[in-house]
Amino acid sequence: MDAAILEKVNVWLTGNFDDATKSAIKELQASNEKELAESFYRNLEFGTGGLRGIMGVGTNRMNKYTVGMATQGYANYLKKSFPGETVSVAVAHDSRNNSRFFAETVANVFGANGIKVYLFEALRPTPELSFTIRHLGCKGGVVCTASHNPKEYNGYKAYWNDGGQLVPPHDKNVIKEVEAIASVDEVKWSGGEANITLIGKELDEAYIAMLKSLSVYPEVIKRQHDLKIVYTPIHGTGITLMPQVLKEFGFTDVTIVEEQSTPDGNFPTVVYPNPEESEAMSIGLNKAKAINADILLGTDPDSDRVGIGIKNHKGEWVLMNGNQTAVLAFNYMIEARKAKGVAQPNDMVVKTIVTTEMIDTIAKASGIACYNVLTGFKWIAELIKEKEGKENYVIGGEESYGLMIGSQIRDKDAISAVAMLCEMAAYEKDKGRSLYDKMIDLYVQHGYYKEHLISITKKGMDGQAQIAAMMESYRSNPPKTINGSAVAHLLDYELQVGKNLLTGESWKIELPKSNVLQFILADGSKISARPSGTEPKIKFYFSVNTPLASAADFDKVSADLDARIKGIIADMNL
């Protein structure tokens, strides 16, 4: 085994680590040297969003010690950033195995550093943590979650005083402070218990009151209160608030998917607890069919992503993708606010660069500003902060099943999204239509945009290197044509340069650096390549579009667009 790995193992066997940790390391030494190497070959990276990794012993795993060292670094940075001020933080966690233990570890380390901690008494949705930071005037916060990852994972998202996740310069500065913690002996583990205050019901009430203020058509819900809703929390935190929120909005016919209603970090009914996966929504879909529901909704373990199912134009149940959901939600907020007379002349909406451009088209047609930011809601939050007092934020979202409605939270929020999607379904039902009918109408009005995503995983120690090589190949030798259409533009967000490959013209991309490449084809198709920041994955996003003359042509045009996407994928050998 590599000498550097052996040295790290030895530090853990001889240092101030508990006996159970040392026993687990010895067991790996005896029975699973490969797993031992994976556990120690590097330090679990505190990235720009925080930590995420497989739970277990070692420097490359989520455990008490890696979490404690990260928190010590973050505590040091908070104290340096707010000298002479009372520093307070909010701490929450999801339903994953060890999430409560990690949250208490985080709270104890912050408390031992003289920081006032508001710790949720039990599991809560991630967006409530974002709301709480703003509501209580905290300087930062942490939620222990690995969002929609498999059950082996846990994680740690770090927030700043605006309720958004860390952005420059704080993200890099916190990373430096975390990396400066060389040993577990530098962590203050205990002694500040008096600085920890448990919170719960009072924050729930304030958060729910804020959510209710987002409703645009409460009178429509009154008429359609018996909209048949099926909801699944997929063993996560949504169960703590979602039933109450739907009741407060005025919905009276809500069926909870019992098999997935109990919070459980083993996620016994699914492979991936992710509403993006049809398998995770399948039990809910069967329930919706059985009771002839109007809408199905599912949220991931920390309730920041939402998946929806509705009946299509043929009466068949279908699961919507994140782009379709975002189109419906953005359009509703823009249209409904105008119709109600509450739209402001300085209203704005925000989406990410890999999210459907149909939203840009809708915003333009409505005379409303639409901004594009890098992937991740922290960039939407940063833009809101930048525009505060000048422009009025209405809604933001991205294709990966995330929406953020209203400016009182600064992270994606599936709790508000579920409530508003139900309001949207009620609004269409009130007119004798479905959300799917509305979507087809929007395609006729603005053009049919269709998207597809492929995610390629490269596991193990050399996975990241393989992904880096793929990106370098695309960057240095971009294809001239894809699927018979010329590559007109290459947008390189890492180099912050856009190029017209047909004329040679280039321009600066005014966004922070990010390892993303986009190919814009002459026929209007767009392909984006983006390695994940938290997993050994590379994602390819495909977007194609064409006019739709009438609803009657929908199926034929849909098949044509599917064929175009398949052609692109085949031509790129993906």
Please list the active-site residues.
147
Per the DSSP assignment, residues forming a β-bridge with 165 are: 159
Contact in structure between 162 and 132 (CB atoms under 8 Å): no
Q: Residue written as tokens 């929406």?
A: 403
Q: Residue written as tokens 């505590």?
A: 75
CB atoms within 10 A of CB 303: 32
Query: Quick one: the chain helix, strand, coil %, rounded to 5?
Result: 40, 20, 35
Contact in structure between 394 and 386 (CB atoms under 8 Å): no
- Per this entry, what is the length of the chain? 574
User: φ and ψ at 329, to 5 degrees?
Assistant: -70, -45
Query: What burial letters (b/e) apply to 459-480, b meaning 16+ CB within 10 Å?
Result: eeeeebeebeeebeebeeeebe
473: which residues sit within 8 A by CB, 6+ positions away?
none
**Which run of H or E residues covers position 450?**
strand 448-457
543: which residues sit within 8 A by CB, 6+ positions away?
356, 357, 449, 450, 451, 525, 526, 527, 528
Q: Residue written as tokens 């031509």?
A: 571
Contact in structure between 493 and 514 (CB atoms under 8 Å): yes
- Sign of CA pseudo-dihedral 279, 55, 457, 528: positive
Helices (H) and strands (E) in the chain, counts: 18, 23
State the Cα angle at 126 between 125 and 130, rounded to 5°.
120
Rounded to whole angstroms, the Cα distance separating 266 from 279 reads: 16
Contact in structure between 70 and 113 (CB atoms under 8 Å): no
Write the DSSP symbol of residue 62. B
Per the DSSP assignment, residues forming a β-bridge with 489 are: 500, 520
